[in-house]
């Protein structure tokens, strides 16, 4: 409209796709990340849309973008959720081996869940800290173990 640069970015994740339009300052600030197949960490906030017909309409405003590869050192913890029915000697041994191979600085938290009784036990390791390595993530994915990284 006024000649300033802008761009559209389609973000695809595990739970869906969303398209963002970046105007002027935001476009200049984030254009270095607008490439196919970049794995990104996008932070922002939900706020009321400043321009629009509906005063209750919300938008997601991007405040920062970082490549995931640059985020590994900033990860503080990984939490692995284990249903009590999954736990057996083989899982304990293989998980222990995977965790010990992935040395790093992130806190390891394990949550054991028994959905039938509504019981949840949260534990963290004082001795073992982990790195968020491809091997550890592959192990968790391969064994269909739920995890969160923060």
pLDDT digits (tens, 9 = 90+) for 80-116: 999 999 999 999 999 999 999 999 999 999 999 998 9
The mean per-residue pLDDT over the stretch 64-85 comes to 88
Confidence of residue 11 (pLDDT cuts 50, 70, 90): confident
List residues bridging with 21 in a β-sheet. 8
How far apart CA 121 and CA 8 sit, in angstroms, is: 44
Predicted confidence at residue 101, as pLDDT, reads: 95
The structure's pTM equals 0.62
∠ at Cα 95 (90, 99), nearest 5°?
Answer: 155
pLDDT of 35 above 80: yes
Predicted confidence at residue 1, as pLDDT, reads: 63
Percentage of the chain exceeding pLDDT 70 = 99
Check residues 90 and 13 and name the one with the higher pLDDT: 90
* CA dist 147 → 4, 13, 45, 109, 141 (Å): 42, 16, 24, 10, 9
Predicted confidence at residue 14, as pLDDT, reads: 74
């Amino acid at each position: 409209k006024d000649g300033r640069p802008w761009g559209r970015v389609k973000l695809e994740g595990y739970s869906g796709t969303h398209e963002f339009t970046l105007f002027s300052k935001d476009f200049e600030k984030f254009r270095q990340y607008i490439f196919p197949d970049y794995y990104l960490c996008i932070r922002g906030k939900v706020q009321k849309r400043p321009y629009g017909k509906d005063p209750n309409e919300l938008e997601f405003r991007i405040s920062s973008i970082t490549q995931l590869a640059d985020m590994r050192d900033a990860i503080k913890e990984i939490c692995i959720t284990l249903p009590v029915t999954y736990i057996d000697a083989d899982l304990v041994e293989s998980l222990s081996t995977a965790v010990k191979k992935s040395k790093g600085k992130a806190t390891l938290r394990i949550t054991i869940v028994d959905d039938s009784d509504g019981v949840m036990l949260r534990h963290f390791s004082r001795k073992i800290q982990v790195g968020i390595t491809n091997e550890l993530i592959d192990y968790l994915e391969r064994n269909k173990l739920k995890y969160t990284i923060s």
